Amino acid sequence: MDVGVVSRSFPQLSNQETAMLLSEKGFKWTELCFSQTDSNYWVYNGRSDMKSLTDEESIQIVETYRNKGVEVSSIGVFTNLLERDEKEAEENLAYFERLIEIASINHVPYVSTECGFIPGKRGVNADTYESDFQRIVENVKRLSKKAEKYNVSIAIEPCVLDIIPSAKRMVDFIDQVGSNRVKVLLDPANLIANNSEEDMFAYLSPHIAYFHGKDRKVNDTYGRAIGDGDINWPLFLHLYHKYTEDVPFIMEYVNIDNFCDIRDRVVRFDEMASFQYK
């Protein structure tokens, strides 16, 4: 089974060093987050000043990976789409739109994001849920128009900790936005507390852009490396092959010391799937 890894697993490396490492170790895909030493722009749940990242520099970075045989499946944004301050929200959306443009220039099919959150108020809060949900619907409608213009799709990662906490809610969200430019970044660790492995594929398989590969204990807040949580990986990978063969599977929550070992776990789980589910 082919496996990828997110570029932000290697913040201590340049893009050239990261591309060489992934190529040498046999990784097929990456989610590019502009998080390397020579392109340090990525801010989780926030934004950075993108003025110094020119179109030409972005092309050079993406081609660095492609020249080593590593496909750039997505550009990771992960800004806050629930920001309530009007000025901050506009700047977050402008940041997102710039990364849509960069993806288009480089023929990268997806830009990816979580819903975002207000620090100290992450998740579903009864007093603000309806207004927050409507806010993200309207923001993604705006972004989807930009994505349509630039022939890019937006991959959104639902999570039990966020305003879109289940596979069913994610499908409802896509329907409410009403754009075929909205896809799913499926991270099973983010839904395992609310959905079975079968549920995830039953609801989401027609919409999946790519996968994050990580694990989680059902009652944990934070994720873990694959094999350290409660996901039934042989079953999940059986369903992957049944419904989404060849869709990029890109690991996260790994680092330079363990990413090959965790990839080997994926391969072993995949072998188990072929025996258990014939």
pLDDT of residue 18: 98
pLDDT tens for each residue of 128-143: 999 999 999 999 999 9
pLDDT of residue 27: 98
User: Which pLDDT band holds residue 278 (cuts at 50, 70, 90)?
Assistant: confident
pLDDT of residue 215: 98
Mean pLDDT across the stretch 19-34?
A: 98
User: Which pLDDT band holds residue 118 (cuts at 50, 70, 90)?
Assistant: very high
pLDDT tens for each residue of 189-216: 999 999 999 999 999 999 999 999 999 9
Vertex 171 angle, CA 32 and 188, to 5°: 50
Mean pLDDT across the stretch 184-193?
A: 98
Residue 124 has pLDDT above 80, yes or no: yes
Mean pLDDT across the stretch 23-35?
A: 98
74 CB-near residues (< 8 Å, 6+ apart)? 31, 32, 103, 108, 109, 110, 111, 112, 155, 185, 209, 210, 248
pLDDT of residue 176: 98
Distance CA 104, CA 190 (A): 28
Domains (range + CATH), the chain:
4-276 (3.20.20.150)
pLDDT of residue 35: 96
Beta strand extents in 77-205 (DSSP E only) = 110-114, 153-157, 182-186
Q: What is the DSSP letter of 245?
A: T
Letter for the amino acid at 210?
Y
Average pLDDT across the chain, whole number? 97
Distance CA 77, CA 127 (A): 28
pLDDT of residue 115: 97
pLDDT tens for each residue of 42-86: 999 999 999 999 999 999 999 999 999 999 999 999 999 999 999
CB 113, CB 78: distance < 8 Å: yes
